[in-house]
Amino acid sequence: METTPKRLEQFYEGKAKKLYATSDPDLIIQYFKDDATAFNAKKRGTIEDKGVMNNRMSELFFTMLEQAGVKTHFVRRLNDREMLCKRLDIVPVETVVRNIVAGSLAKRLGREEGETLKTPFVEYYYKSDPLDDPLIYPEHAVAFGWATDAELAQIHESALRVDELLSRFLNERGVLLVDFKLEFGRHKGEILLGDEICPDTCRFWDKATRQKLDKDRFRRDLGGVEEAYHEMLRRVEG
């Protein structure tokens, strides 16, 4: 039986998670909260059992990606709200992959939400709450020392591979992967996928009805938020 390192002090709390050091300096415990935020925490609320559902969905997605050769920080799920992860030095660049026009892309370029893109593409945003995570060029990340050219190339390749794998998996379950956010970090010289993969970080639409099955239901006051999360969990575990 695998032994779990002892949980030590909390060293970070974000909008949706808490991170704890462990007795193994290479491992952390990631705790999933029920807190919900939108528009860079200008809107706040609670989604009942969101942390439990996101933990389970993230476990499933990370396991699937690892089996397909994508290296992630995931070690194993410990309980309803906690997972054991490799400790990362996070690259302060959020990576967004888009398949269908939605959200900020529709607003920024005046495109109709729901327009299918001819090919998926990757965008980068600087992780900065005070600046509302501005869109950046890859050259910015290199110029300011946030990542090297080689790291960005690896992140770009991994992001598109994740898109390919998740899109295929979800399509078989009647779900369109509209767009999603990924975070990457360094662990012992390697770039690994970190954070979480769930309705907080992805836009999921029902393939037949285009009903939203993600945090946009909270952002846009559409109602049925908990139901959407439960439906996504049912489909991916089903």
Examine the pLDDT at 71 and tell me if it is beyond 90.
yes
Q: What mean pLDDT is predicted for residues 109-117?
A: 97
Q: What mean pLDDT is predicted for residues 178-205?
A: 98
**Burial zone of 142 (CB within 10 Å; 0-12 exposed, 13-18 middle, 19+ buried):** middle
How wide is the angle at C-alpha 165 spanned by C-alphas 72 and 207, nearest 5°? 130
Q: Are residues 150 and 218 in the same domain?
A: yes
Structural domain containing residue 41: 7-89
Examine the pLDDT at 55 and tell me if it is beyond 80.
yes
| Residue 182, C-beta contacts closer than 8 angstroms, at least 6 positions apart | 94, 95, 96, 97, 158, 159, 162, 193, 195, 197, 201
Q: What mean pLDDT is predicted for residues 180-190?
A: 97
Q: Are residues 182 and 79 in the same domain?
A: no
How does residue 1 score in pLDDT terms, banded at 50, 70 and 90?
low
Give this prediction's pTM: 0.95
Q: What mean pLDDT is predicted for residues 73-98?
A: 98
| Residue 237 covered by a domain | no
Q: Are residues 163 and 197 in the same domain?
A: yes
| Residue 145, C-beta contacts closer than 8 angstroms, at least 6 positions apart | none
The pLDDT value recorded for residue 42 is 79
Kind and range of the H or E run holding 170 = helix 149-171
CA dist 80 and 59 (Å) reads 11
CATH classification at residue 116: 3.30.470.20
Name the least confident of 12-16, 18-22, 74-78, 169-173.
Answer: 12-16
